Amino acid sequence: MPDKLSLEFQAGFSNRLIFDQAVFKRIDPSAKLHEHTEHHPLSSSAACLNVIGGYSEARRARFRNHLGQHSEINPVAIPG
């Protein structure tokens, strides 16, 4: 059985790290994503985008309201 946490196993998914590419449409175009977001198999920012991308709009709105925010969430933006 392969070690699913190994870099070699994870590399098999490096061309499809983001489950729903539509998540990029909800990120401010001026935000700078971590350089490994779309290509590194161990990208934590890709993992975050997959979680947030899986939320329905209603659930994202509840999350933003909980944080006191009323704009789109951008967890991987790097101020620049």
Residues in the chain: 80
How far is residue 36's CA from residue 41's CA, in Å, rounded to a whole number? 8
Tokens linked to 33: 């994503």
Does the CA dihedral 40-19-33-62 come out positive or negative? negative
Residue 45 CA to its chain's centroid (Å)? 5
> What's the predicted TM-score (pTM) here?
0.55
pLDDT in tens, 40-71: 878 888 888 888 777 767 776 776 676 665 55
How far is residue 13's CA from residue 11's CA, in Å, rounded to a whole number? 5
pLDDT in tens, 8-39: 888 887 788 887 888 888 888 888 888 888 88
